[in-house]
């Protein structure tokens, strides 16, 4: 697949985090950090992305893509991590961590089943630099996340 299905939105950071959740379920306390990527916490139906910034109020840009198979490695990101999880509904939404409105359009990743997810993060340092210059600033789209799902066996 050359062009994956995708959705993107800016979403408010809450508790230093945001989530991409299967809209059919998902519990945050079940989520554990991925090997080598403690900022990527996953459990079935939920992906929690931790900001690299200390900002208490900012709106990162999040893009979620659904692939048929593992996409090629995407360079140019500060951090990358991978995990495997089960989606019980198959449709995900980008959400503020503490709950709220789905940002952007929900994305149909695929049928219920097991998926690999690769997460990318960048821009946290730029957020902190911006806030050092202007502590009252509310950065929009400076920190960025990319989440890529594809189905795996099992």
Partner 1 sequence: MRRTSGLLAVLAAALLTLPTGPPATAAETPAPTAVAALPDEPDDDFVEQCQNDPESNSEQGRVWDRTTWCQHTTSYGEIIVNGQTSRADITYTALAYADQADRKVRIFFQVDDFDTNYGVINSFTDMRISVGCQALCDVSGNDDSDKDNMLLTWRDFTGFVSWDITSQDDGVGAERIARHRWNFSGQLVTSYGQATVPGVGLDHHIRCDSAGTVPGYGGWTAKACINDDVLPYITYSKSGPAAGVAQHIETALNRPADTYPNRGTPKTIPGKYTGNPDDPGLHRIAVGSPEYVANRAEQRRIRDRSAPYNGPDDLPVKPPADVQADEFPFASTREGLGAKDAQGNLLGNGSVAWVDSAQNIAGGNQLKDFYKRDRILMGDHDEFYVNIVP
Contact residues for partner 1, defined by CB under 8 A: 12, 14-17, 21, 23-31, 41, 48, 50, 56-57, 88, 93, 95-102, 135-136, 138
Q: How many CB atoms neighbour CB 14 within 10 A?
A: 17
Sequence-ordered alpha helix ranges (H) in the chain: 124-133
CA dist., res. 139 & res. 54, Å (int): 12
Closest CA to 47 of 69, 67, 62: 62
C-beta of 96 vs 123, nearer to partner 1: 96
Query: Which CB atom, from 27 or from 108, has the smaller least distance to partner 1?
Result: 27
Q: Which two tokens stand for residue 5?
A: 């299905």
What is the token pair recorded at 54?
């200390």
Least Cβ distance, residue 85 to partner 1 (angstroms): 14
User: Is the CB of 35 or the CB of 70 nearer to partner 1?
Assistant: 35
Residue 72: CB minimum distance to partner 1, A: 31
| Closest to partner 1 by CB, 76 or 135 | 135
């Amino acid at each position: 697949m050359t062009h994956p299905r995708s959705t993107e939105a800016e979403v408010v950071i809450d508790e230093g985090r945001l989530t991409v959740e299967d809209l059919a379920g998902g519990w945050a306390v079940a989520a554990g950090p991925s090997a080598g990527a403690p900022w990527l916490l996953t459990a079935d139906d939920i992906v929690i992305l931790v900001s690299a910034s200390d900002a208490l109020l900012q709106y990162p840009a999040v893009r979620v893509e659904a692939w048929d198979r593992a996409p090629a490695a995407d360079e140019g990101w500060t951090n990358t991590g991978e995990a495997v999880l089960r989606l019980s509904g198959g449709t995900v939404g980008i959400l503020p961590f503490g709950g709220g409105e789905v940002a952007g359009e929900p994305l149909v990743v695929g049928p219920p089943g097991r998926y690999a997810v690769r997460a990318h993060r960048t821009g946290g340092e730029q957020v902190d630099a911006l806030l050092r210059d202007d502590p009252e600033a509310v950065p929009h789209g400076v920190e960025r996340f990319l989440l890529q799902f594809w189905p795996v066996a099992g």
